[in-house]
Amino acid sequence: MSAHPLPGRDASYWMATAPGPERPPLTEDIEVDVAVVGGGIAGLSTAWELSLTGRSVAVLEAGRLAAGVTGFTTAKISALHSLVYDPLRRSHGAETARHYAASQQDAVDHLARTVAGLDIDCDFERAPAYTYAAGPASAGAIEAEARAAAEAGLPVHHVTETGLPYPVAGAVRLDDQAQFHPRKYLLALADGLEARGGRIFERSRVTRLREGQPCQVTTEDGRKVTAGAVVVATHHPVFDRALHFARLSPRRELVVAAPLDRDRAPQGMYITEDEGKRSVRTAPLDEERRLLIVTGESFTPGTGDPVAAFRRLDAWTHDRFPAAGPTAWRWAAQDLDPADTVPLVGPFHPGARHTYVATGFGGWGMTGGALAGRLLTALITGSDVPPWAELYDPRRLKSLLREGKALLGTQVEVAQHLAGDRLHVPRVDSVADIAPGTGAVVRVDGRRRAVHRAEDGTVRAVSARCTHLGCLVSFNQAETTWECPCHGSRFGTDGAVLQGPATRPLERFDVPGEPPAEDGGHTG
């Protein structure tokens, strides 16, 4: 059966409405004070903050700026992160929860100051944030979160009424949070960085890192950047020497967006862990309408049925917001959840002296990225290091001990994919059984291949083993991509890397007797 059409345009609203200028790739060896690998909000925020201290900075992005995770976010800027303060207080203590609250709220306020200071037109709006219980079963967790967040120093309120058009069993409300257009913000920040002498290179995938004094990073075509310090801000770290992939669990969430009359739009930003997790906000669309943005249906990349999940999310959206128009946009976002719920921002590994990492924001990358920029700049310059730096330190030993159970569960799941997936019987017996618009892992000449058949009948076949650690990839029909269930690497149908930690493409192969797709470009 051919791929079923899904509602809405298959594209991120943020990407489509702020394309931005192309920047050149790195074509020569250069030297700078700091090399930042990754051009999302964490990388660009770090580069910007470093430029304010007079450091020379180069940003190297594998694709386009702010076109990875940042270009597909829901773009909430908030210190209220669903249910985080009560778990932090219970597992790490009250002081840890206070540090987390102070650092996240500082990031909210700093980002707001940056928008104002650079006069960035990015649809920045102050709004209350809510974490709510959809039913009475989770009302107790909401009450506990409200108490913990208040104890952590946030001016929260426990409420039973919200701006949603349906009842809730209770909610935590934190006023004066914010939302914005992430691409407009970051493209303006990139312009500001370049105006200060910073250098930005797109389509410059970094594949090697040499630590030392100085450090050196090398792109896939052999160009080198020598730097006094290196920041790895690639969402999933692309270098495995610190084994961060073992502490991070990839999670993919779907997004649908539909127009809604301004007088029907809910005021504020909302999230619940109930009903398959749901996140709701709106954004300016035109003088009469706002864009309703709903996120949910979490799943591990390479698992589940994203097509059915998109349909569930779309149905929920129009059931809860009947005044909304037809879905206009749909996309998906990928997050990394750290085993102890706290992001990893700081020295790359225990022996690191001049290399740093920012990762594991758990779905809250807007505040996390702003926080990372401030914290990493303080660590690199050795000045004004905040009191909460130790909380985010990737080398934290106490948290590593607490992570043990979660780490074990994650690695057991990875081991099952490494071993079990290779023994799993394919869902189709041969390439001939793959319908137009679909893909499957099948045996070709005795070897497993990931094969996609386009709507015109042509096929692309690539290696079925992820180039990161060798897990078998799986086809995501909703996004026309190959995904690794172990650590979240994603590839186009031509094998091109769309998302790490993989840095090498899947090898391409011909399929005897099948019409090959034309070379050039990738889907997804």
Mean pLDDT of 177-186: 98
CA 420 to CA 301: how far, in whole Å? 17
Domain spans in the chain, listed from the N-terminal domain onward: 9-401, 431-509
Please state, rounded to an integer, the average pLDDT across all residues of the chain. 90
Q: Residue 292 is inside which H or E element, if any?
A: strand 289-299
Inform me whether the pLDDT recorded for 314 exceeds 70. Answer: yes
CATH topology identical between 9-401 and 431-509: no
27 confidence band (pLDDT: 50, 70, 90) = very high
The domain defined by 9-401 folds into FAD/NAD(P)-binding domain (3.50.50)
Mean pLDDT of 310-339: 95
User: What percent of the chain is predicted at pLDDT more than 70?
Assistant: 92
Mean pLDDT of 142-158: 98
Q: How far is CA 369 from CA 48, 415, 424, in A?
A: 12, 31, 39
Tens digits of per-residue pLDDT, 252-270?
Answer: 999 999 999 999 999 999 9
CA 171 to CA 161: how far, in whole Å? 8
CA 313 to CA 308: how far, in whole Å? 9
Least trusted range by pLDDT, from 340-354, 401-415, 438-452, 476-490: 401-415
The domain defined by 431-509 folds into Rieske Iron-sulfur Protein (2.102.10)
CA 233 to CA 235: how far, in whole Å? 6
| Prediction pTM value | 0.86
**452, two tokens:** 């996609």
